[in-house]
Amino acid sequence: MEKELCIYIVRALRKYPIEGAILNSDRGSQYTSEAFRNTSKDMYML
């Protein structure tokens, strides 16, 4: 899976929030990438 797809999904959660949703990452490179971490921080997910 590409990191861009993971970032797209995280951003979509802002538009369509799901109360109590849990983002389950498998610690793969797309989830540990700087771009994904920065997006998560910007959205107050970390």
Cβ count near 25 (within 10 Å): 11
| Residue 46 and residue 37 in contact, taking contact as beta carbons nearer than 8 Å | yes
pLDDT tens per residue across span 2-35: 899 989 988 888 888 778 777 777 788 998 899 9
Distance CA 17, CA 32 (A): 23
Distance CA 17, CA 1 (A): 22
Instruction: Give the model's pLDDT for residue 33.
Output: 92
Return the CA Rg of the chain: 10
- Of the pLDDT bands very low, low, confident and very high (cuts 50, 70, 90), residue 46 is low
pLDDT tops 90 at residue 45 = no
Instruction: Give the model's pLDDT for residue 1.
Output: 72
pLDDT tops 80 at residue 40 = yes
